[in-house]
A and B are shown apart, each in its own frame.
Chain A
Amino acid sequence: MTDHMPPPSAPARPPGDPSASGAVNTAGGQPGAAKGQAAIPAPPKMVKVVVDGTEVEADSRDNLIEAARRIGVAIPYFCYHPRLSIAGQCRMCLVETSDAPGRLVPGCQVRVKEGLKITTNSPAVKDNQRGCMEFHLINHPVDCAICDQSGECKLQDYYMEYDHQPSRIRTYKLNKPKREIFGPLVVYDAERCIMCTRCVRFMDEVAKEPQLAVVQRGSHSLISTFPGQPLDSKYSGNTVDICPVGALLNRDFRFQSRVWFVNKSPTVCTGCANGCNVYAESRGEVIYRLLPRRNEEVNQVWMCDAGRLSYHASNERRLEWARIGRGDGAESVGPRLAIEKAVELLKPLQGQGGVGIYVSAQCTNEEAVAAFQLGAHLGAQRYSTGGVPPGDSDDFLIRADKNPNTNGLRLVAQAFGVKLEESVGRLKGLIAMRTDGLSANSLQGTELFIAVAQNESAVSALADVALPCQSVYEQEGTLVNWYGRLQRTWASVAAQRADAAAGWSWASRILGGLGGAGPGNAAEAFAALAQKSPHLQGLTFDALSEDGMVLEELLPRDWPARAPRPSPAAHSVRGPQTTPPGMKVGDEASGGSR
């Protein structure tokens, strides 16, 4: 499929080559990776090993933890992470092998070889697990009641499973700095830290900004930032995900909710055009946080900080009630009457010219489709687009285009045969599907303004009819990311927020009032698009998977150096997807921490 992949724009460097910052790409944590041995591409050979008496066919690059995971045997670990280099610090994964009889070897470091026998349930291994837990807990503060990590904390889970003994210490615990602000998004509690150094390795190897380091020695060790250098990397939020305990916490989410009260649902981040796959955790009508979701071809298991904070737009300053009228004359009348008013205002303009449709690049494809159908019915003469202004970008996950669906709009416009202008122009009537990118200035020449808006702003205050739009997190729809990947979202918020409805639903109702027919649900809108668009022929909404699919004709020529790219081996046999169903493992992002 991707044999004709365009080469990356940056000159290729051999993997293992130290970059300018001194950090080394270890290409996935294989033993010897730091020394550049991972430069030799290991052939995908399968070997047979025996785990607890059961034969397993493991990839030759697997370590013992991955090999055991294939048959559902869980070897506990704190410091190991499938995407980072090996530390071997926590000693929790020690198991017995036939190669080293009478001794325990770390399961994260030892690679499988043909015929190896691994034992994970012998008395020595169990005693080690219990002892490791006891050691880790000696200085651990009694913080569960106030620690955010409760409910997704590997210390808690492993304690109940491998230790469950009372404490034996009869002295005081060590006191260390608590609540240290590391950076804009991260706060550090040294007492809870078990010094697994995942955060240090992550910043070195994945974020490529080595802003964390281990300081002091022995029991007094801490993680620290460098003097004058806060943890301000754009990927600092990922250290919170991978921290197995409550040492590194997200300042934005801190104390907002307990994790067992929130429901997790897959969707796509709307922060920029990268379209990182996320889980939205919500309760009632409020979203509490976004967590990265695994997609090797888009964001691996990471996401940027700006994306993590993008859910605030869905919670705050929302336009909630359908209203008509501007300023003092505005009244909330409920959806039915608002639609009637909109229809009444639009009817005289139907077919007369002077009607424009504005679609923001924050819209889903379905919203755009319904807007264009409405425009076609009204005989709109001008279609314009806009969105959140561009911002910073980098070579990994952050794209300059801060709108999730620019490509999608292009696709829909092409399908409907309309040209998207940059400016609104002077119109008799403007219907805006989402108001991002509009300003009071751009509306100066317009007489009638009907807005389907998500947030209250100066623009929505100018609307003659303001219809509350559900955020992308609250509705199902599709988005096309910067390199042409079609991804779908699910409705991640269970409760209905006031009058809010999906943008296509409003357009559909207005269409109905004008005598046309719009899509009744997202699948119908998508089907209407698939019919018209050559790129989407034969696709149906319900058949779209959680991983999305690449629309090959849209693949770009230039590729940022480290951006994940589609490839046939991307979702390969290694890693957590080999986990058998029903096996209790943590998030992919956390590397099995929760």
Chain B
Amino acid sequence: MSQALIDLVREKFPDTAGSSHRGDEVVNVRREQLVEIVSYLRNDAACDMKLLRDIVGVDLLTWRTEMTGGGALASNEAPAYAVQNKPRVEPRFYVAYNLYSITRKHSLRVRLDLRSDDAKVPTITSLYRTADWWERYVYDMFGIEFTGHPNLQRLLMYPEFQGFPLRKDYPVRKRQPLVPELDFPDLIRGPGPGPGGAGVPMSQTHVGRQNVDPNTYD
């Protein structure tokens, strides 16, 4: 059913590659064609894929290897050997767009491979309003930049978060540094405690623990 869809796409854009697995059809495209192809899929009457279901990012770094030694349940601390011999995999990421047409009842996945040093994708927020948050989510989790996005900020993580959590080289148990307390000025009572204010950061105010280094407080 969707094979016809792949044929349509490949007819118009011959240098894309199509494949199918367990009933899911996928079209591999290049970055330069992405907006054009998605636009075609959305607007062409035969395709009419008006529903962008989601945008998925995947990190292929450990596709062939396991970062930790041992079997499926080995501990998550990777000894030095495994960390040192981190695989270098190119392409490192891929982004998949799951599209659907409510009227024609067909689906298609558009897949785009990205290299680790060049993880940028043009935005499709001009085509689908829902792409706004999905692209922010993929950026937040993988660090893939969507050029032209009106508001590319972290979505689920707080702004001071360091790193990109769903990348395969982000350890599961990694700790984050403490964030200094934000200043919330009160219009009536004036600036509160916190950096820039007259007060002391909360981490230093607890009774009983003196000389606590806020970077290592635990």
CA of A263 to CA of B82, assembled, Å: 9
Interface flags for B75-87 (1: CB within 8 Å of A; 0: not) read 1011111101000
Given A264-B70, A265-B69: A492 and B81 interface contact (C-beta under 8 Å): yes
Please name all residues of chain A whose beta carbon is closer than 8 Å to the beta carbon of B69 when the two chains form the complex: 262-265, 281
B73 near A494 with CB under 8 A, answer no
Please name all residues of chain B whose beta carbon is closer than 8 Å to the beta carbon of A282 when the two chains form the complex: 79
The minimal Cβ–Cβ distance linking A295 to chain B, given in whole angstroms, is 16
CA of A260 to CA of B75, assembled, Å: 8
CA of A283 to CA of B70, assembled, Å: 10
Given A581-B64, A582-B64: A493 and B70 interface contact (C-beta under 8 Å): no
Please name all residues of chain A whose beta carbon is closer than 8 Å to the beta carbon of B80 when the two chains form the complex: 265, 476, 490-492, 494
CA of A495 to CA of B80, assembled, Å: 10
8 Å CB contacts to A: which residues of B77-125? 77-82, 84
The minimal Cβ–Cβ distance linking A303 to chain B, given in whole angstroms, is 19
A494 near B74 with CB under 8 A, answer no
Please name all residues of chain A whose beta carbon is closer than 8 Å to the beta carbon of B81 when the two chains form the complex: 265-266, 490-492
A116 within 8 A of B: no
B4 within 8 A of A: no
B74 near A262 with CB under 8 A, answer yes
CA of A138 to CA of B36, assembled, Å: 63
A8 within 8 A of B: no
Please name all residues of chain B whose beta carbon is closer than 8 Å to the beta carbon of A262 when the two chains form the complex: 69-70, 74-75
A263 near B64 with CB under 8 A, answer no
Interface flags for A278-296 (1: CB within 8 Å of B; 0: not) read 0001111000000000000
CA of A315 to CA of B72, assembled, Å: 26
> Closest residue of chain A to B85, judged by CB?
A490
A493 near B79 with CB under 8 A, answer yes
Output the residue of B72, B75, B78 with the most chain A CB within 10 A: B75
The minimal Cβ–Cβ distance linking A420 to chain B, given in whole angstroms, is 31
Given A490-B84, A581-B64, A582-B64: A151 and B79 interface contact (C-beta under 8 Å): no
Given A581-B64, A582-B64: A265 and B73 interface contact (C-beta under 8 Å): no
Output the residue of B68, B70, B77 with the most chain A CB within 10 A: B70
Main secondary structure of the interface of A (DSSP, over half): loop
B70 near A259 with CB under 8 A, answer yes
Contact count band on B: 10 to 19
How many residues from A make CB contacts under 8 Å with B? 22
> Closest residue of chain B to A491, judged by CB?
B80
> Closest residue of chain B to A492, judged by CB?
B79
A261 within 8 A of B: yes
Please name all residues of chain A whose beta carbon is closer than 8 Å to the beta carbon of B74 when the two chains form the complex: 260-263
A495 near B77 with CB under 8 A, answer yes
CA of A151 to CA of B73, assembled, Å: 10
CA of A581 to CA of B63, assembled, Å: 12
8 Å CB contacts to A: which residues of B32-86? 64, 68-75, 77-82, 84
Among B75, B78, B79, B84, the residue within 8 A (CB) of A261 is: B75
> Closest residue of chain B to A266, judged by CB?
B81
Output the residue of A260, A263, A491, A493 with the most chain B CB within 10 A: A263
B71 near A260 with CB under 8 A, answer yes
Among B64, B68, B71, B82, the residue within 8 A (CB) of A259 is: B71
CA of A151 to CA of B72, assembled, Å: 10
A263 near B71 with CB under 8 A, answer no
Among A263, A476, A495, the residue within 8 A (CB) of B70 is: A263
CA of A491 to CA of B80, assembled, Å: 6
CA of A493 to CA of B75, assembled, Å: 12
B79 near A265 with CB under 8 A, answer yes
B75 near A283 with CB under 8 A, answer yes
Please name all residues of chain B whose beta carbon is closer than 8 Å to the beta carbon of A494 when the two chains form the complex: 75, 77-80
Output the residue of B64, B73, B74 with the most chain A CB within 10 A: B74
Please name all residues of chain A whose beta carbon is closer than 8 Å to the beta carbon of B68 when the two chains form the complex: 263
Please name all residues of chain A whose beta carbon is closer than 8 Å to the beta carbon of B70 when the two chains form the complex: 259-264
Top 3 nearest A-B pairs (CB, nearest first) are A260-B71, A263-B69, A491-B80
Q: Which residues of B contact A (CB under 8 A)?
A: 64, 68-75, 77-82, 84
What are 10 A-B interface contacts by the 8 Å CB criterion? A259-B71, A260-B71, A260-B72, A263-B69, A263-B77, A263-B78, A263-B82, A265-B69, A265-B81, A494-B75
Q: Which residues of A contact B (CB under 8 A)?
A: 151, 259-266, 281-284, 476, 490-495, 581-582
13 more contacts with CB within 8 A, not counting A262-B69, A490-B84, A495-B77, are A259-B71, A261-B70, A263-B77, A263-B79, A264-B69, A264-B70, A265-B79, A265-B82, A281-B69, A284-B77, A493-B79, A494-B77, A582-B64
